[in-house]
């Protein structure tokens, strides 16, 4: 439990500055050693990056908020940072200490007008879960309904801009000199502003409940009268997270069932080209006793521009057709590769890497059923994720930050489940949407 929560811009700035200074010193010393002719082994290089990544993660954990959201984004990175950084930053998905109980009570008092024991008939002061921008407590309404109460950490929203500014300075130490990060940071900033507005999240909960609560998918009900921009109350859904579910040694039939629900949930959103649940990590999904898929977090919901959505959808058929000329043109349109690169040979290697990665992602759609438990497929996806040929340079449209998070996150969930999924209906719907796009 953490009693020391830095919520002012000054306190947070000191931590960012300390981290940046430490990293800058470490990398400068390494550069001098290399310049002096000292060779570094692969093991030494890996250990160096891991130690520095741990330094960043430990400091970002104190900051929570924007800092940890950046860490989460880095864990999904596709070639901007060393592999060791993405592995350590992956801990931001689940290793966050809760704030102390007195602070949590005071936030509820300030936001809802009374302490939790007056507002609710019961309130568990121990956090059920703690994430980057808030933590969740279980409570019971006076009408007897169980609810989840999400409490936002102090000043998270107010420090987004300054945190991102300092994070950009920090990250520029790792990326190629002159690389333009502005679009990517603007995308993260606008998304974080939405994620820290719990009234907006409540509205998203209601929109998804109307759209998906049809028996197969269950979502919470927003308790609007007990919600503010910084406290969110919603009905509680009983179920097991992925890790708990797997500990029960489920049958292959059960794995396939929940895998199919996850697959269909995301493809229904993609083909509708409307809002998409864009935070695909295990903590946001529950497997219920009655066989439904619980979806419980709606902070990160994206509405991609239609032009990007259309191009992103086209990646599927051109990789299935294996039309290299079409792939090349679409990659340029999506800013993945450059039409007139400074180093054509290096760019061609990168193009082939991305094309083969796309082929791997298209594999599940090529047959009527696909086994995500296939160890060869898992090894293939992991190899591409860990071995991008171009380092230190962001590539692709800024919208890839969250579209990749959705797609890669879905595959990771299905691989952990070891599910066999029927892809016929989703493939048919996607191709029908693409036909409509081509006609228009």
- The owner of tokens 């947070």 is 12
Region label for 288, one of left (φ > 0), alpha (ψ between -120 and 50) or beta (otherwise): beta
**Cα 66 versus chain centre, distance:** 13
Count Cα atoms within 13 angstroms, Cβ side, for 416: 16
Of the spans 65-79, 152-166, 364-378, which averages the highest pLDDT? Answer: 364-378
Count of CB atoms situated within 10 Å of the CB of 359: 16
Q: pLDDT tens across 249-277, in order? A: 999 999 999 999 999 999 988 877 778 99
Region label for 287, one of left (φ > 0), alpha (ψ between -120 and 50) or beta (otherwise): beta
CA distances from 359 to 189, 291, 401, 435 (A): 32, 33, 20, 21
Q: Residue 396: pLDDT above 80?
A: yes
C-alpha–C-alpha distance, residues 233 and 141, integer Å: 10
- Token pair of 410 as six digits: 């879905």
Nearest to 400 by CA among 330, 335, 328: 335
For residues 279-300, give the mean pLDDT. 92
Nearest to 315 by CA among 302, 303, 328: 328
Q: pLDDT tens across 190-244, in order? A: 888 899 999 999 999 999 999 887 789 999 999 999 999 999 999 999 999 998 9
- Token pair of 190 as six digits: 């606008």
Count Cα atoms within 13 angstroms, Cβ side, for 359: 12
Angle CA(317)–CA(391)–CA(400) in degrees, nearest 5? 40
Q: Residue 78: pLDDT above 80?
A: no
SS3 category, 414: helix
The DSSP element (H or E) to which 244 belongs, if any, is helix 242-247
Higher pLDDT, 205 or 172: 205
Domain boundaries, the chain: 9-94+157-176, 97-130+133-154+196-236, 238-440
pLDDT at residue 213 in the model: 73
pLDDT range class, residue 48, cuts 50, 70, 90 = confident
C-alpha–C-alpha distance, residues 330 and 337, integer Å: 9
Taking the alpha carbons at both ends of the chain, their separation in whole angstroms is: 56
The answer to whether the beta carbons of residues 136 and 150 sit under 8 Å apart is yes
The answer to whether the beta carbons of residues 130 and 98 sit under 8 Å apart is yes
* 107: CB partners within 8 A, 6+ apart: 151, 152, 154, 230, 231
C-alpha–C-alpha distance, residues 130 and 221, integer Å: 21
- Token pair of 291 as six digits: 């066989």
- pTM value is 0.81
Count of CB atoms situated within 10 Å of the CB of 282: 19
* Assigned CATH topology for domain 97-130+133-154+196-236: Phosphorylase Kinase; domain 1 (3.30.200)
Nearest to 262 by CA among 410, 405, 143: 410
pLDDT at residue 177 in the model: 67
């Amino acid at each position: 439990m953490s009693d020391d929560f830095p919520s002012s811009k000054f306190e947070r700035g000191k931590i960012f500055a300390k981290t940046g200074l430490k990293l800058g010193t470490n990398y400068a010393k390494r550069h001098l050693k290399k310049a002096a002719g000292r060779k570094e082994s692969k093991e030494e290089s890996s250990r160096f990056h891991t130690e520095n990544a741990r330094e960043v993660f430990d400091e970002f954990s104190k900051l929570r908020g924007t800092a940890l959201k950046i860490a989460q984004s880095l864990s999904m990175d596709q070639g901007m940072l060393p592999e060791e950084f993405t592995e350590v930053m992956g801990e931001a998905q689940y290793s966050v200490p809760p704030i102390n109980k007195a602070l949590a009570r005071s936030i509820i008092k300030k936001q809802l007008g009374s302490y939790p024991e007056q507002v609710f008939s019961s309130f568990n002061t121990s956090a059920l879960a703690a994430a980057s921008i808030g933590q969740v407590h279980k409570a019971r309404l006076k009408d007897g309904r169980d609810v989840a109460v999400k409490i936002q950490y102090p000043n998270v929203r107010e420090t987004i801009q300054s945190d991102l500014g300092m994070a950009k300075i920090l990250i520029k130490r790792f990326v190629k000199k002159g690389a333009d990060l502005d679009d990517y940071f603007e995308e993260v900033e606008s998304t974080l502003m939405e994620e820290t507005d719990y009234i907006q999240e409540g509205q998203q909960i209601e929109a998804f409940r109307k759209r998906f609560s049809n028996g197969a998918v269950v979502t919470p009900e927003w308790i609007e009268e007990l919600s503010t921009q910084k406290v969110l109350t919603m009905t509680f859904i009983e179920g097991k997270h992925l890790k708990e579910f797997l500990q029960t040694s489920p049958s292959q039939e059960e794995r396939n069932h929940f895998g199919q629900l996850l697959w269909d949930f995301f493809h229904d959103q993609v083909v509708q080209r409307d809002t998409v649940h864009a935070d695909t990590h295990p903590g946001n999904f529950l497997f219920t006793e009655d066989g439904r898929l619980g979806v419980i977090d709606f902070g990160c919901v994206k509405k991609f521009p239609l032009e990007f959505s259309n191009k992103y959808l086209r990646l599927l058929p051109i990789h299935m057709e294996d039309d290299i000329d079409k792939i090349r043109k679409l990659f340029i349109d999506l800013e993945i590769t450059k039409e007139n690169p400074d180093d054509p040979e290096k760019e061609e290697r990168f193009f082939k890497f991305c094309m083969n990665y796309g082929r791997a992602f298209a594999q599940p759609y090529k047959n009527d059923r696909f086994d995500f438990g296939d160890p060869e497929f898992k090894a293939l996806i992991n190899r591409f994720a860990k071995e991008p040929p171009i380092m230190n340079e962001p590539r692709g449209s800024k919208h890839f930050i969250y579209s990749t998070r959705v797609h890669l996150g879905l595959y990771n969930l299905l691989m952990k489940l070891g599910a066999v999924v029927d892809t016929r209906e989703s493939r048919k719907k996607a191709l029908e949407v693409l036909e409509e796009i081509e006609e228009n």
